[in-house]
Amino acid sequence: MKNLNPPQLDSLNVYKRVKKNARDADKKLRLENIEHLVLSRYEIYESNATTLEVMTDSNIIDENDIKALGSCYNRNKDGYLEGEVVAEIIALQSSQHKNSCPYCGMDKPRTIDHYLPKSIYPEFSIYPPNLIPCCGHCNGKKSFKWLNNGKRLFLNFYYDDIPNEKFLNVELIFDSNPLIQEPRVVFELKNNSGIGPEQFSLITSHYKELGLLNELSEYVEEELSNLHDEILHNTHLPREEHIESLRRKKDSFVRKYGQNYWKSSLYEAIIESDEFFERIYKLRVS
């Protein structure tokens, strides 16, 4: 879990491209007429990017103007963004972020989330800093939610400072029957590194709203099973050798995706678990 680079696209230029490409004359005229309103909102967004919870209500109130802006994003409705600018925004990210949803770290980011939902803020429907690549699952879960009692519900991977300190912890739960070797994996959030309470509360809300802790516990099963299988079939090697290999992989995950990537946390928990190895090596002896 690491910050993304805010897209270095000229927002005014994107708006003008969309306006120019509009096939519908009425829509083109509407986009022309509200351009100054939209651009004034871009300025407000830009100056409050790290505190978007202060964003005031939209200044676009005419229903047809709202439709015109909303349709800019939908390819089927005389818009073009969904194909072209989405690809541009994803292409601007580092290679690891092209392959991993920033919100969950599980799937590829094939869709774009409107951080401020376009149903509430139509003026930001094609504003690049508001468009965050993520996977379809996270996008669907987030939907039009973003604020509750004046507090943001989700991390903003462009503008929030995603902490380097570890907060995603893995607990390995072993069965009372020692012959059942593979543990159950439980993900939990822990603040042992002094992350500020406001920031940690936002992190907690992000995981809760996206249902990530449960999702991750199921998602890791295959990875865990593969790791387990590899060690089980190589017990002629000393366990220290396996631990060293796991540690190298974990360090690589941390470099690429940060401390709080699910694989970083899973590998660390295994490396530190005597029981994980003892169950495997005991079975080999018996």
What token pair was written down for 169?
Answer: 């912890």
In whole angstroms, the minimum distance from the beta carbon of 224 to Zn ion comes to 20
Backbone angles phi, psi at 210, to 5 degrees: -90, 0
Nearer Cβ to Zn ion (38/135): 135
In whole angstroms, the minimum distance from the beta carbon of 141 to Zn ion comes to 8
C-alpha dist (Å) from residue 57 to 45, 61, 70, 116, 120: 12, 10, 16, 11, 8
In whole angstroms, the minimum distance from the beta carbon of 174 to Zn ion comes to 29
Nearer Cβ to Zn ion (18/101): 101
Is the CA virtual torsion 204, 129, 47, 41 positive or negative? negative
C-alpha dist (Å) from residue 107 to 102, 133, 262: 9, 11, 12
Q: Could you tell me if 260 and 1 are in contact, meaning their C-beta atoms sit under 8 angstroms apart? A: yes
Binding site for Zn ion (CB under 5 A): 101, 103-104, 135, 138
Nearer Cβ to Zn ion (89/104): 104
The helix-helix angle for 212-219 and 221-232 (nearest 10°) equals 30
Distance of alpha carbon 94 from alpha carbon 33, whole angstroms: 37
Nearer Cβ to Zn ion (110/284): 110
Nearer Cβ to Zn ion (27/97): 97
